[in-house]
Structure 1
Amino acid sequence: MDPRERFDDGQEALRAAMDGLQGRINTAIPGIIQSFNAAAMTAVVQPAVQRQVRDPAGIWHWVNLPLLLDCPVHFPSGGGFTLTFPVAPGDEVLVIIADRCIDAWWSSGGVQAQAELRMHDLSDGFVIPKVWSQPNTIGGVSGNSTQLRSDDGETYVEVAGGEVVTVKAPTRIVLDSPDVTISGRLSILNSEGHAAPCAIAGAVYATGDVVAGAGGASVSLQHHIHGGVQPGSGSTAAPTPGT
């Protein structure tokens, strides 16, 4: 009991009682991932804000809250598509506490009766990754584009103004599909913006012509001719189809 509740002051006693009640209502709290179960999509989280408890001698101490077990982890999702992240121990997250017991819903889905009549209980947390305390901010956040990026900013997919999408990967980009369609002109440049060689493992099939040296002394694969390969000033015919 709060000592103020013993005062001969009704308003002060009421305020003390309300403070005590409010102190038992859990809504949201930052936490730190201890482990992540990818199959169940749940996490064990250590709340990152301590609470005060009073020992038998009346001395107050700051203590850790207990671990929050089997917290469902939220990933942006809808319509059969989901954006996932590799949640890792040490990640800072936000834990949202449900108003009522979520056990029956979590185990069975759909609309369920409450398994227990608890309210605002730490047992009913949802995890939203990720939030950052000041020592752990990633830095370099773009102020004029949307990015899906690594924390170090070296790898990203960026949607910017001017109808431009940029993909950056310091090592390589892998497109794994039996059929890749590129609609539009394709330019291959090196890191300095200059033309770069292109290595293709396998046959190349083109429904149209292939032109080398485009923009200069261009040569057509389908229609080029050769000079000086027979006596006189004649030229060879165009390439023979099917050869």
Structure 2
Amino acid sequence: MIDPLEWVSIALGGLQSKLWTALPGIIQSFDASAMACVVQPAIQALVRDESGALTSVDLPLLLDCPAQFPAGGGCTLTFPVKPGDECLVVFSSRCIDAWWQSGGIQAQAELRMHDLSDGFALLGFRSQPRVIGAISTTSAQLRSDDGSTFIEVSPDGPVAITAPGGLTINADVTVIGQVHTTGDLVSGTVSVQHHTHPDAQGGNTGEPNA
């Protein structure tokens, strides 16, 4: 005869197996216009076959997972989301369908709880084979994964920009303070280092002295 406490443990385990909290996942596709992605859970489920043996099977694709970008106060930090990116899917404790469609405060469209249908994709989590190298331990960086391009802010140093591909500013620029450059400065077609001026003799003044 099975102990009643064992029956309770079995029942609770069955309920717990249907309660989804969070899972690592792999992005399959991203809809930028909807800010939503399709995610393949990266942890398999165990299914018992007719013989009683347990088999690992892929969980179904998670559709229309809202993707999280850091945001607040009318400003948002966005970045491209590509298939193969890893993420953490967090499951709402209640159905999100009505909120997802209309925003604001909504009634529950269905009474499901902790369901695979109600996932949010939090981007940036990485498994060990996909960790990025050269993480700065002294400054904040907005960077490419390979570390070749970055904007760096540190508590005791200047803001640094490293961009092998160049830097384009599409705006009027006001500088309060001095500008130092180790290379030439060109305005239109006029070089600061190599420009000349006509002189009274019909020649030119020559290039500026260093």
Q: What TM-score, normalized by structure 1, do the two folds share?
A: 0.77
Matches within 5 A, 1:104-143: 104-143=98-137
* Residue identity matched to 2:169: L
Aligned with 2:11 (options 17, 42, 45): 17
Write the distance in 2 (CA, Å) between the matches of 1:202 and 1:79: 41
2:70 is the alignment partner of 1:83: no
Q: Deviations over 1:66-108 (max 9, x none)?
A: 0000000010111111000100000000100000000000000
Against the structure 1 CA distance between its residues 80 and 202, is the aligned structure 2 distance closer, same or farther, given a 3 Å change threshold? Answer: farther
Q: Secondary structure at the match of 2:129?
A: helix
User: Percent identity, aligned pairs only?
Assistant: 53
Write the distance in 1 (CA, Å) between the matches of 2:154 and 2:185: 27
Match of 2:187 in 1: 200
Aligned with 2:174 (options 159, 177, 181): 181
2:55 is the alignment partner of 1:68: no
> How much has 1:203 moved relative to structure 2?
7.2
Match of 2:144 in 1: 150
* Residue identity matched to 1:148: L
Write the distance in 2 (CA, Å) between the matches of 1:44 and 1:130: 16
* Residue identity matched to 1:176: N
* Residue identity matched to 2:38: V
Q: Secondary structure at the match of 2:64?
A: strand
> How much has 1:197 moved relative to structure 2?
1.8
- The structure number with the bigger radius of gyration is 1
Q: Deviations over 1:206-228 (max 9, x none)?
A: xxxx9x9xxxxxxxx9xxxx9xx
* Residue identity matched to 1:146: A
> How much has 1:58 moved relative to structure 2?
1.6
Could you list the runs of 4 or more consecutive aligned residues of structure 1 that deviate by over 3 angstroms after TM superposition?
none
Q: Secondary structure at the match of 2:9?
A: helix
Write the distance in 2 (CA, Å) between the matches of 1:180 and 1:197: 18
2:27 is the alignment partner of 1:27: no
Write the distance in 2 (CA, Å) between the matches of 1:8 and 1:32: 42
Q: Deviations over 1:29-64 (max 9, x none)?
A: 000000000000000000000110011222210000
Structure 2 portions without partners, runs of 5+: 202-210
> How much has 1:122 moved relative to structure 2?
0.5
Q: Secondary structure at the match of 2:15?
A: helix
Write the distance in 1 (CA, Å) between the matches of 2:2 and 2:49: 26
Structure 1 portions without partners, runs of 5+: 1-6, 190-195, 205-209, 213-220, 230-243
> How much has 1:130 moved relative to structure 2?
1.4
Write the distance in 2 (CA, Å) between the matches of 1:202 and 1:103: 57
Match of 2:47 in 1: 53
> How much has 1:199 moved relative to structure 2?
2.0
> How much has 1:163 moved relative to structure 2?
4.3
